[in-house]
Amino acid sequence: MLAAFADSRETMGIPLIDQERMDVIWDTQRRHLPCIQDPPEVQLYTQTGSITKGGLTLPVPSTTTSTASYL
């Protein structure tokens, strides 16, 4: 995702991401990925549909317990 938005700018031309700062932050934070990712053998979300925003088709997930949604 960081790579996808690396060159993106808001409507006034200001970069959305300060790449130098993000590189420093990401070098520190990447070690936490295993703590926040779903284990590969456990499916906690199911795609229940899709939505198109800004020309991109995004999945619409639902928890396996149907108690929350991210979109």
Q: Is residue 54 part of a domain?
A: no
The count of other CB atoms within 10 Å of the CB of residue 6 is 12
Output the pLDDT for position 4: 86
Over residues 10-38, the pLDDT tens digits come to 999 999 999 999 999 999 999 988 888 87
Does a structural domain hold residue 18?
yes
Flag whether 23 is in a domain.
yes
Query: How much of the chain, in percent, has pLDDT values that exceed 90?
Result: 45
**Has residue 67 been placed in a domain?**
no
1 pLDDT more than 70: yes
Q: Please state the domain count of the chain.
A: 1
| Residue 45 in domain | no
DSSP string, the chain: -HHHHTT-B-TTS-BSS-HHHHHHHHHHHGGGHHHHSPPTT---EEEEEEEEETTEEEEEEEETTSS----
User: What is the span of the domain harbouring residue 28?
Assistant: 1-39
pTM of the full predicted structure? 0.45
